[in-house]
Structure 1
Amino acid sequence: MRVLLLAAGLGTRLRPLTDSVPKCLVLIKGQPLLEIWLERLTSVGFGPFLINTHYLSDQVETFVEGCACRDQISLVHESELRGTAGTLNANLDFFQGEDGLLIHADNYCLADLRAFQQAHLSRPSECLVTMMTFRTEVPSSCGIVGLDERGVVVSFHEKVPNPPSNLANGAVYILSREFFDIMKSKLSAAEDFSTQVLSQLVGRIYSYETKEMFLDIGTPESYKQANQ
């Protein structure tokens, strides 16, 4: 299964750490975050990979040149950030009309990726996307999802003061071929995946909750937690 790894972000909240290194390459227990993703994905048979770059892109290019799986990796540089949905829309052909993974590569995730894929294969027939979710200790800082009894997403609560639960969107998705058709026909102008795409698919997104380690390492506090 093909994988688009979003790795172009500025990492503003992690400064000064990200003044000299892109967020996707910060070290978690001595290992670059992007390397952790690639090792875990290749170990269960995912690939090839497309990685977008922008901030300190030369460092990402150098990193990829040294990767064990470099022959499976393509890079696409964005001179101006397209936004998460904009990047997806610009690279739909990469997926070749088949189901694929979309991953925000600045999260530290130790989820069971085989189980995630199996959840997608057994999703309700009306669902076009399978979203990884996790339990967060700070719900007000995350996009919180509401589910029905089958695990289908019925509501989103994006960084609101008192969300109804602590079940958060992990920004890791398996996208169906039918979803790609909708992106092309109805959502081709979207720039932000969370607010402009997912919001249009309420009732058509299945959820998979990981019980394993999952952290948005967007702040110095969460980065420190990931390294404990």
Structure 2
Amino acid sequence: MKSILLAAGLGTRLRPITDHIPKCLVPINGKPLLGYWFDSLAKAGVGPILINLHHHSDKVIEFVKEYANSCDVRLVYEPELLGTGGTLKENYKFLCSESVLVAHADNFCLVDLKEFYLAHQRRPIGTEITMMTFVTDEPTSCGIVETDVRGRVIGYYEKVKEPPCNVANAAVYIFQRSVIEHISAIPNRFIDLSTDVLPEYLGKIFAWEADDIHIDIGTVKNLQKANAMMASRKEQS
């Protein structure tokens, strides 16, 4: 299965850290986020991997040369940010396969991706996307999902003031080919998955709850939380 790591974001909420490095290279317990992704994808047998670049792209290129010996990694530079969906549209030819794993590379995710893929294979009939979810203590800052008894997403609320629950979109997905084809047909050049794509697939998304650490490294607070969790895990091992 092919995959794409979305890594072009500016990381404005992590400044001044991201004044010098891209968010996808922010270290957790001394190891850059991308390193964790490469290890997880390789362990699950996922590849080749496409990574889109923009902010401090030279540093990502340097890191990939040093680290990704065991992975088939391809890099594509975006001179202009296209949005999470726009990147998929731009790279349609690479991504248009039976299924593709799509992940925001600025998430710290230790979930077993092989289990995630197995869940996708067992998803309810009629669903075309499997979405990883997690329980959050900050629901107003996340995309919140409501599901039916079969785990299908029937409501999606992107950073609303009064979210109906605390089950959040982890921004890690497996898309069927039909979803990539749909995105490629959207006329806009800038496309956002959360606002332009996911709402159109209500009832066709299967939610699978993360079974290990998953944190959006979007703020200094969450970065500190991730480092503390890894330090604690290291002490216990």
State the match for 1:23 in structure 2.
23
1:214 correspondence with 2:217:
no
State the match for 2:118 in structure 1.
118
AA aligned opposite 2:131: M
- TM-score normalised over the length of structure 2: 0.92
Whether the 8 Å CA contact 2:89–2:184 is kept in 1: the answer is: yes
> Among the aligned pairs, what percent are the same residue?
48
State the match for 1:147 in structure 2.
147
State the match for 1:95 in structure 2.
95
Shift, 1:170, TM fit = 0.4
How many aligned residue pairs are there? 227
**1-side partners of 2:156 and 2:128: how far apart?**
17
Shift, 1:67, TM fit = 1.8
Whether the 8 Å CA contact 1:89–1:188 is kept in 2: the answer is: no
SS at match of 1:85: helix
State the match for 2:156 in structure 1.
156
1:167 correspondence with 2:161:
no
**1-side partners of 2:28 and 2:16: how far apart?**
16
SS at match of 1:69: helix
Unaligned ranges ≥5, structure 2: 229-237
AA aligned opposite 1:205: I
AA aligned opposite 1:222: N
Whether the 8 Å CA contact 2:144–2:156 is kept in 1: the answer is: yes
Whether the 8 Å CA contact 2:24–2:34 is kept in 1: the answer is: yes
Whether the 8 Å CA contact 1:64–1:70 is kept in 2: the answer is: no
Unaligned ranges ≥5, structure 1: none
**2-side partners of 1:18 and 1:49: how far apart?**
23
**1-side partners of 2:181 and 2:125: how far apart?**
16
State the match for 1:61 in structure 2.
61
AA aligned opposite 2:65: E
**1-side partners of 2:155 and 2:192: how far apart?**
17
Shift, 1:97, TM fit = 2.5
Whether the 8 Å CA contact 1:145–1:167 is kept in 2: the answer is: yes
Q: Deviation digits for residues 79-106 of structure 1, max 9, x if unmatched? A: 1111111000001111243211111000
Whether the 8 Å CA contact 2:144–2:167 is kept in 1: the answer is: yes
